[in-house]
Amino acid sequence: MITVSSLNKTYQTREGNEIRALHDVSFDVESGEFITVVGPSGCGKSTLLKILAGILRRSSGKVAVAGRPIDGPNREVGVVFQAPVLLPWRTVIENILMPSELHGKVDKTQRDRAARYLAMVGLEGFEDKYPSELSGGMQQRVGIARALCHDPTLLLMDEPFGALDAMTRESMNLDLLRIRAESGKTVLLVTHSIPEAVFLADRVIVMSPRPGRITDILPVNLPRERKLEMINSEPFGAVVSRIRTHFNSHGTLD
């Protein structure tokens, strides 16, 4: 589903200096996998996601989704940002249908799909509500439904639950796993939280401080049907400890 080979990204400052955000990043993602990317602030996680989404151009290297090179926005990709970015004057269903409108197509099929994904994220009956009438977690659910509405094969998520309280975040993690199972999408999620990265993933990509490089890719050998009590299990703790070892070796704490 995703092929990244020798990816590099360098930014130019106003003073003409160069800042290397990503250096020689390579990995593959299989169709149907749930991959998480974890690393310290400023390591290029969000830059990587934006390149995969076609929002940023790479400096060098190769990036492809479903066998097609990424050089701009791609219908195969849906994106969920850190904030839900909902338009306050539009209802929930109108916000979800925005990608379809931008692609110039809103018909009964699109409306039925929007209603299906709204129910999938647990917001059936909220179609005509406005963002101001929803909690933060509910708004992010709308953002997930909007990203899925045009039926992409790949869902990219950039710290989608970072602003939520701990209990809501746990609930959203469980709901996201259910949504992935029901939709069959391939998911790549960026997070600062090591436990969240391990709980959600089939594999965890570990990145170094800037310039971001891949220091490890760890399989998570837990049943795909995750339960919160797994967080206290020995296999879960072993993966978390191994990831923390990478960060502690650079003087970086979770």
Tokens of 204: 């965890």
Q: Alpha carbon of 205 to those of 1, 58, 213, 219: distances in Å?
A: 16, 19, 10, 9
Q: Are residues 72 and 197 in the same domain?
A: yes
pLDDT tens for 140-162 read: 889 988 988 888 889 999 988 87
Count how many domains the chain has.
Answer: 2
Indicate whether 199 belongs to any domain. Answer: yes
Q: Where are the beta strands (DSSP E) in the chain?
A: 2-12, 18-29, 34-38, 60-65, 68-69, 77-80, 154-158, 186-191, 203-207, 214-219
Same domain, 97 and 217: no
Residues 14, 66, single domain; the answer is: yes
- Amino acid identity at 20: R
pLDDT per residue as tens digits for the range 180-237: 898 889 999 999 899 999 999 999 999 988 888 999 999 999 998 889 999 999 999 9
Same domain as 142, residue 172:
no
Is residue 82 a part of any domain in this protein? no
Of 51, 42, 49, which is closest to residue 21 (Cα–Cα)?
A: 42
pLDDT digits (tens, 9 = 90+) for 32-87: 999 999 988 888 889 999 999 988 899 999 999 888 888 877 788 889 988 888 99
Clarify whether residues 143 and 161 are in a common domain: no
As a whole number of angstroms, the distance between CA 79 and CA 146 comes to 9
Q: Could you tell me the residue range of the domain that residue 91 belongs to?
A: 87-151
Is 237 within the bounds of a domain?
Answer: yes
Identify whether residues 32 and 137 lie together within a single domain. no
CATH of the domain at 9: 3.40.50.300
Same domain, 228 and 116: no
Contact 209, 43 (CB under 8 A): yes
